[in-house]
Amino acid sequence: MEPERLIDPLIVTVDRALRAVFAPVRAARPVPQPAPLPVLTDAEKREAAALMRVNHAGEVAAQALYHGQAAFARNPATRALLLQAAREEADHLGWCQQRLGELGSRPSLLGPLWYAGSFAIGALAAALGDRISLGFVAETERQVEGHIGSHLERLPAADTRSRAILEAMRHDEIEHGEAAISAGGGDLPAPARELMRGTARVMTFTSYWL
């Protein structure tokens, strides 16, 4: 293969990583519920910020998963589906980043680690074939849907802004999972699903505080 054909995809991959981890994200879609910000107590702000930091870290990981899978997808149609999902996940990343700023907080300090680890997992899933890779997407989105549901229960009742963001994110995650199944995604074995849950728990606990 000519060097240019290797270098160009590498540049694109590095650019995506830098944008996801370090660059301010501008969502293509407006933030849900752009109404006046809710008034929260200091304790409510701290809890909402910690939860939204977890969600922001999850979206960094989602970007990396899709980028890793797309980079090694065998079918152009699969690659296009993954990149479209990544663009929508970028909106989630931008919404969470904006909400963290509104709450006077910051993203997880471990963003580069979440991205690097998730990219590697996505690349591994893609190396196993498009059927497994798409099944991985479907299972990931099922778990993320449940994770968002738990956060909706824990958010302060007054924080309608964060709630609207999470509900919009959950809607997209469901669509991504359904699209992956429709495109031929297969079920993952139970040990793989449990490993995914364990990895998610580590990231959730750590990013809540860091």
| Residue 30 domain flag | no
| Residue 147 domain flag | yes
| Residue 34 domain flag | no
| Residue 38 domain flag | no
pLDDT at site 155: 94
If one counts the domains in the chain, the total is 1
Determine the structural domain holding residue 134 and report its residue range: 3-21+43-209
| Residue 14 domain flag | yes
pLDDT > 60? residue 10: no
pLDDT > 80? residue 12: no
pLDDT at site 13: 55
| Residue 31 domain flag | no
| Residue 141 domain flag | yes
- Write the burial class of residue 160 (CB in 10 Å: 0-12 exposed, 13-18 middle, 19+ buried): middle
120 vs 198, more confident = 120
Mean pLDDT over residues 9-19, rounded?
Answer: 53
Q: Looking at residue 115, which CATH number applies to its domain?
A: 1.20.1260.10
| Contacts of the segment 11-15: beta carbons below 8 A, 24+ positions apart | 13/67, 13/71
pLDDT at site 14: 53
pLDDT > 70? residue 22: no
What are the tens digits of pLDDT across the range 81-97? 888 888 888 899 999 99
| Residue 29 domain flag | no
CA angle 102, 86, 58 (to 5 degrees): 50
